Structure 1
Amino acid sequence: DYPSLAMLIEKLTENNIFLFFAVTNPVKDTYKSYSNMIPGSNVEILSQDSSNVLNLIVKAYQDIRSRAEMEVVNLPKELSISFDAFCGNAEFVEGSKSCSGLNIGDTVNFTVTLEAVDCPKDGKSKTFIVKPILFKDTLEVTVNFNCDCDCENSADESITQCANGNGTYECGVCKCLPGRLGPHCECRESDSSATDQATCFPVKGDPICNNRGECLCGQCVCHSNEFGIISGKFCECDDFSCGRFKGKLCSGNGKCECGECRCFANWNDIYCNCTTKTDSCITAVGSVCSRRGSCVCGKCVCQDAAYGDHCEKCPTCPDACSIKSDCVRCKVFDTGELKKNGTCHKVCTDEIRQVEDLDTGNANGVICSYKDENGCTVHFRYEEESNGNSVLTVVKEPVCQPPVNILLIVLCLMAAILLCGLLALLIWKLLVTLHDKQEFAKFEAERAKAKWDTANNPLYKAPTTTFTNLTYTGNVD
């Protein structure tokens, strides 16, 4: 087709054009595949009557304004590059080249790490460009490769240690001239009498040079091979017998060394087909796999009942109602934090359906409720349909309790206090009366037991007392 996808990507990048596909649900997966290959692009679901196209444009604009992503143009194959992001909220995201959920005035920083995985055959420097997507600013980086050891510059051709001029002494070893072999360049390739096969196999009885070379002058000279280079002291290594993934040696993300893949930066696993980057696992709000899973090889591995590309779908998760209630606030009632910071359309991609009352007989999804700022209760159902759509069915009118009559409450409290006081007085009076009756009955019982005449008081004492002086005789003198 013309233009090709590569040409389209080139022109979009040159002119800083943001591309988003508004497509119907049946072709969503196809365009998602295209979007993964076009930097900065996005895919949105268009309704059958295209009534939500304006909302999709607004959402796309919100995505542009709140997201910063780096891209690399013309990266040489001899280099491997990785990014670490420091987003505006001081959050460090290792292996990420993008930040989302940004507000105007936020500052983001990206740390770029370069690693040389090979030396250019032409020996020249290489140039590439690092730039933020949808921005005109660019950074051109020129890399000079130093693939030679410093000791090679001081090679000695006159030293006698290398068979009197049959090689040069470089970095502590002899580098033989063409046609010469041996630790000291003492042998010729054509000199068969100099062959010593005893040193050309690791264990006695093993094939000489592993059947992949010839033993000349006590050394293995490895055969050439159309697939790559055979190397090693006993020709035991090569750079083409490593595992392949999707037809590519070491998945194209590593270098084959002696039968093992040596992965480039940001790649691991036996075939180097597992990326350590987390860009594809980060949601629109900056969380990894919606905090319901872990990022493994660039894909979210969800926990419990969560599913979806970012584990964002989970009607039965404990936090499902609290997360979706924020979307109901901003998309139905135009309130909440998501509405204030302008991230409502980016975070909330659910389809909203408003009804008069929820069908409690519907077993799909989960029924949720929350209290709004007015104290009213909002009821809604969150469910995931079989076609992949997330649906929030919201009751139009919140359930509000009648206003509280404070004066009536105060009067009732005062009446209750007064009633309690009167009741306490009655109880006290009753107890006192009962006590008096008990005391009087006890007194009557004591008086009935008395043995004296009731006309005389046994406790009475006369006011005068008479004393008799026994020594008085009646004489005055």
Structure 2
Amino acid sequence: MERCIFFLVLLLMGREGSCQDEEICSKTAINSCGDCISSGRYCVWCKQPDFTQQGEQDAARCDTRSQLETKGCRPDQIISPVSNVSVVEDAPLSESFSQRGSVQLSPQEINLKLRPGLPTTFTVRFKRVEGFPVDLYYLMDLSNSMKDDLQNVKNLGQNLFKALNDITPHAKIGFGAFVDKTVLPFTNTNKDKLQWPCEERDQYCQKAFGYRHVVSITSDSEKFKNEVEKQNISGNLDSPEGSLDAMMQAAVCVNEIGWRNSSTRLIVLTTDDAFHMAGDGKLAGILEPNDEECHLVNGLYEKSNEMDYPSVGQLATQLERNNIQPIFAVTKEMEKVYTELSKMIPKSVVGVLSDNSDNVVELIKDAYNSLSSKVILKHDDLPKGVKVTYTPICPHPGPPGDTTGVCEKVGVAKEISFDVTVTADSCMEKPSIFYISPQGIEDKLKVTISTHCDCDCNDRPDTTGCNGNGRLTCGTCSCDGGWVGQKCECAIGDKDESAMKAPCRKNGSLTECEGRGDCQCGRCLCHHLEQGGSSYHGAHCECDDEHCEKFQNRLCGGNGKCGCGICSCNEGWEGSACHCAKSDADCRTPGTTSVCSGRGQCECGRCKCDSGYQPPFCIECDSCDDYCVTNKDCIECLAYDNGPLKKTCADSCTSVEHREVTEFTLTKRCKQKDSKNCWMFYSIEQLDSENGTARYRAEVKPIETRECPVLPNFALIILGAVVGVAVIGLFILVLAKVLITLNDRREFKKFVNESRNVKWAEDANPMFVKATITTENPMFTGGDGE
């Protein structure tokens, strides 16, 4: 139930969070009935002559219907123009195709005169004519990878015609081919390669080309077959092909292709590769954007190497504008690519070719049935400030949408309809025209739209209401020349001007009309309020109905009406802002008849609690912590059969109502220790006092939730200490051993390095003198003596 209410609220809420059905009239710069009607869908005008109060401006006549009736305007005096729908042409829907013309959409022309802001709905009917003509243009990729497919297409001419004739006796078919732009890096521009782009030399290969139109739309199957048989494979360098270039020319060259005015137009694109798109031409230095014009000369696209590829958006626009529905017959590897492309091109479908395209006939039949069974109603460019939405009325409506209406699984000769809702946001200077049509169908509905921003008050000649000096128009006076005032009561040029202004000053004040209006002919013409709502009123503009006291941001609390700055309360309400209910029902403690739990007074529908207690019912008490302490012993004996009051519990704790719970619902939570030093958890509240004796209600958690202290395991502690000391000692010994070993190794390594670096001196030690012995033989002369 709650979920239903939630969704109901969502449906009623507008985009900005306000209720869509809430009637609001924005009264800004209102000087006439026409201004009022133009300012919003809910604004109406009261033409009742005596409606405005003294000094109140005529803008007070503009408001919502309910507000004007509340203020005293009679229903027959309220002006509220409505929208008008007039059918200009409504030829009946045709049962079958006729050469003289068939009608698939009805009506064909209507005129709308709309009240600004007010949605207006009319019905459009559609029925697909049985046997309606079909024009099919077969657009084939002739890159080298499609050679097997081309051979099958050459043999499928008769089958294609037969399949189309099963759909309609008025079928025609054409043929075109494409590869890619003949510039680098898309095609090898070597002279010989341009003439023979294929790798194999044992087959005929036609020279490179971008797009070639081969056969115009024809019903001659032999002509189609003969021309297609003349086609041969060509080639290019990169994988993506010039598919979009070819489709653009096939779409915009209406006369060259031979599209008929009244026919279902189909383009069947067969390929095994992806496509180039806008921006890819920059790779070849082609910077000129595609101009979406026809450039076929002798069947060839002559601007192929001069203009960039079209964007997907450009192609989608031209296909839609020319009512052409594409069928993408692609290989399995390319299915995902062209499925994404199909999402951006309305009324298109993707089919998967077999390896040699021998299933193309069945693919085309299935695709046609899919396209023809889906009806999409759309419109062209709308006038500024106009919005159109569609509501399909059929067994299988498509997903909801604002800008199109969709019906699926629509059979031939089955009538469906759409409710079309048109809204004009503001007044239009002159009538405008837009068209509604089913996508892919030539039939159109012409809609001429204008706005209803004038008031027809059916005024009879009446000069008495204007003192004989003017005429009454929609409740206000249009004064004759030389006269002014709300009732045309003042002649321009009266001499005693100061005497006429005296009545506009209150109690001798020097300020005219309290500064809130203009003095005209001795009467105050009061200004609007700053927020543009109602105006000041009263003999001296001393009153307004917008500045009364507010409660919860609502004027007079929403329970009264503001009049001259004072709230007039509805029945059952009182207070300066009508914010106080006279009843004390809102002050009664839930489930009892007690007012404010006996701990306060009911004032203005709310409890004014005694000291220490809190609203809304004076039950919770922030300063009542002693509840927990004073009732602790009773809780222990009642809940756990323990404590100092165990023996006298029945007599000592009669003022405490006890119950066992798993989740607390009472307001005051308590945590206290019992006589065994265990924590008790409970909640408690004071009930209404009886005979001056305080009574309490207590909720206690089960005994297993009570937290009691646990004695330590001394044996485990001692064992842990011994083991810990042993482990720590062992760790210290190992650590010391490791440190000593590392230090010894470091010192030994240092010694070895220093020994290697010693350079021993090569000179003799100066302190050392080698011993010398000199011996002379005096008898030896050095000769050979004896």
- Please state which band the TM-score falls in when normalised by the shorter chain: 0.3 to 0.5
State TM-score, norm by structure 1.
0.35
State TM-score, norm by structure 2.
0.23
The structure, 1 or 2, with the larger RCO (C-alpha pairs under 8 Å, 6+ apart) is 2
Greater radius of gyration (CA): 2
